[in-house]
Amino acid sequence: MYKIQKIFKRLVAMCFVALAFPAVPAIAKQADQGESLKIYGGLLAKYLAAGADGVTGVAYAKWHADIKDRAALDGAVMAMAAQKPSQMQRGEAFAFWANLYNALTLKVVLDAYPVASIKDIKSSGASLFDLKSYSGPWRTRLVTVEEKELSLDDIEHLIMRPTFKDARVHYAVNCASIGCPNLKQTPWTASTLERDLDAAARAYVNHPRGVKVADDGQLVVASIYSWFQEDFGGSQKRVLAHLMKYANPALNAKLKGKTGFDSHEYNWTLNAAK
């Protein structure tokens, strides 16, 4: 029975991968794709700001109070969902899924606002025995893309991670929390994807919520490096190699000679503007 369930799960995952990235590199040029990103980008510019602490905050209270702009986000999400990522090239598909994930996360928080943490929002429609559904909205089917109903977990774990096999996925998607890598203040685009992903990685690794070395030498990293260690190479040693790739000279010097991290932590407080 276990083997049958395992095979079924693999088949489901394969279906999601096929949706995310096509076998033939056809290019989708939907007329409203640019318009949806323009609207989404305008909303990001209006409600996001870099804080003095290096964490990008979202003015949720202000956005929640503006019915017109909330409707604009809903419209942008609907327009994104109408696209055909199965006809996009790799970079275009990556940017599409990252933008859709982040826009959906913003929508979920705004719909539930005020909340102190995204984990205060429960998933709907999930199994009663799925413990994760009680702490966060990640299991809720939020959107339909190419006739498939998707949750945030589907987008991240069944599409982006297995399809692109790039640890920088974790710097691209934002979970509306202070502990998460910053929400990008402009939409992701294929033309600047590589440069922007590296910039996002550097920003997070060199911020204390990403990596910090205490006075006693203890290395504390963000929990994403433990939760998704397999994406960062599969071992603490390879996680360290990843961190050193993006660390500035001062941090790099502190990381040299270490063979692993001592602990990990994560701040689930909402990334609200201060």
Please state, in angstroms and rounded to a whole number, the distance separating the CA atoms of residues 42 and 58.
13
Q: What is the reported pLDDT for 125? A: 78
Please state, in angstroms and rounded to a whole number, the distance separating the CA atoms of residues 155 and 152.
5
**Phi and psi torsions of 211, nearest 5°:** -145, 135
182-222 confidence digits (pLDDT tens): 999 999 999 999 999 999 999 999 999 999 999 999 999 99
% of the chain at pLDDT higher than 70: 85
Q: What is the reported pLDDT for 135? A: 79
E strands present in 40-155: 48-50, 56-58, 141-145, 148-151
Q: What is the reported pLDDT for 94? A: 99
58-69 confidence digits (pLDDT tens): 999 999 999 999
User: Above 70 in pLDDT, residue 117?
Assistant: yes
Q: What is the reported pLDDT for 229? A: 99
The residue with tokens 């979970």 is 175
Cα dihedral 198, 164, 10, 135 sign:
positive
Token digits for 33? 């794709």
Q: Give, as one character, the DSSP assignment of residue 154.
A: I
Q: What is the reported pLDDT for 32? A: 67
Contacts of residue 67, Cβ cutoff 8 Å, sequence gap at least 6: none
User: Above 60 in pLDDT, residue 18?
Assistant: no
**DSSP strand pairing (263-265 vs 219-222):** parallel
Q: What is the reported pLDDT for 31? A: 44
Among 101-105, 133-137, 255-259, the range scoring the smallest mean pLDDT is 133-137
Mean pLDDT of the chain: 90
